[in-house]
Structure 1
Amino acid sequence: MKSFNFNEIKEYISKTSKETSIYVGCDSRQTGDLTVFVSVIVVHIDSCKGGKIFYEVRKEKRIKSLKERLLKEVDFAVMTALNIIDVVDDRNLEVHLDINPDNRYKSHIIVKEAISYVLAQGLKPKLKPESFAAYSVADYLTKR
């Protein structure tokens, strides 16, 4: 298991310009009798240059319910964002959700709940196809 070092992350963010964007997301996968969650913080320098990725891995007993697993992803992303919110200041902060609003996809079942929860925390949600921190970065790390 790998955990965030929020002090290190906050220090890194505080040294970036106000033009920097921060994207937070989470994805999961089922493996054997476990569900593996990977939460990420992507710091995009000046919103146009390179960036840095911080990540955390959590393993839990296999979650059989898709809805429960997706809601946990949303919760982990929100909690991660709230842990760094005090150093974000005027920087762009988005919570990226691995949820497809198109009803042809299974993840659409929690669109309303997920968006409402993120907004209720004062955060900005992004869904697929705009949520690359979750569906690309975190997804990649779940497979490692």
Structure 2
Amino acid sequence: MKSITYGELSFDGVCEIIKEYTSKDLEVDYVISVGTDSQNMDNYTKMVSVIALVRKGKGGIFFYDIKKLKRIRNIRQKIFRETQDSIELATKVMEFLNNNSIHASLEVHVDIGNNGETKHLIKEIAGWVVGSGFRCCLKPEAYTSTGIADKISKRGSRVC
């Protein structure tokens, strides 16, 4: 994974930073959200997964991972792949939080909402996320997928 602040990191390195960050102020609430967005480029799909850690009212940090996949042309398949990657990453984060007694709410942010061509996927995708044990956030609340991951996934992003 990568971070603007910390550079290139392993997943274990990300977890250590989460542990350190959440131990600095035990009086505030922490929200960890995981989201993925993708963009089709010339001959591939750029898939960006993000872990965002917010110290409510006091800012936050994020980490991201970029994958190049065989071009995914179907919107349903793209949304399912984004959701799958987010659930897998959130599951790893949840395991780390539980094993280290870190108290933070954990959400999965999906790039779908009540408007647009993905609205018919809401019940299916939200049910999958909730059934996997996570709170599901949709547009416009899904800032990790629709904001951070979306910006990094765009052509010309300076974060890459």
* Displacement over 4 Å in runs of 4+: 1-4
Structure 1 residue matching 2:140: 3-state secondary structure: coil
Contact 1:6–1:83 (8 Å) recurs in 2? no
Q: Structure 2 counterpart of 1:12, which letter?
A: I
Any conservation in 2 of the 1:94–1:126 contact (CA below 8 Å)? Answer: yes
Q: CA deviation at 1:87?
A: 3.1
Deviates more, 1:17-26 or 1:59-68: 17-26
- 1:1-49 deviation digits (Å, cap 9, x = unpaired): 968621012112222145211111000001111011100001112x111
Partner of 2:5: none
Partner of 2:150: helix, strand, or coil?
helix
TM-score (norm 2): 0.82
Alignment check: 8 A CA contact 1:94 1:123 kept: yes
Structure 2: tracts of 5 or more residues without a match: 3-7
Choose from 37, 53, 56 the match for 2:65: 56
Question: Which of 92, 110, 121 is the matching residue for 2:121?
Answer: 110
Q: Percent identity?
A: 32
> Contact 1:39/1:57 (CA < 8 Å) preserved in 2?
yes
Partner amino acid for 2:14? I
* Counterpart in the other structure of 2:85: 76
Question: 5+ residue gaps in structure 1?
Answer: none
Give the SS at the match of 2:34: strand
2:107 to 76, 79, 94: 94
User: Equivalent of 2:48, from 38, 45, 48?
Assistant: 38
1:5 matches 2:31: no
Deviation at 1:120, TM superposition (A): 1.2
In the alignment, the residues of structure 2 paired with residue 122 and residue 44 of structure 1 have an alpha-carbon distance, to the nearest angstrom, of 20
> Aligned AA for 1:10?
C
| Aligned residue in 1 for 2:140 | 129
Answering whether residue 39 of structure 2 is matched by residue 29 of structure 1, we say yes
Q: Evaluate the alpha carbon distance shift between residue 75 and residue 21 of structure 1 in structure 2; reply closer, same or farther with a 3 A threshold.
A: same
Indicate the RMSD between aligned Cα atoms, in angstroms.
Answer: 1.8
Larger-gyration structure (1/2): 2
**TM norm structure 1:** 0.90
**Other structure's SS at 1:8 match:** helix
Deviation at 1:101, TM superposition (A): 2.2
Q: SS at 1:129's partner residue?
A: coil
Matched-pair contact (CA < 8 Å) for 1:22–1:94: yes
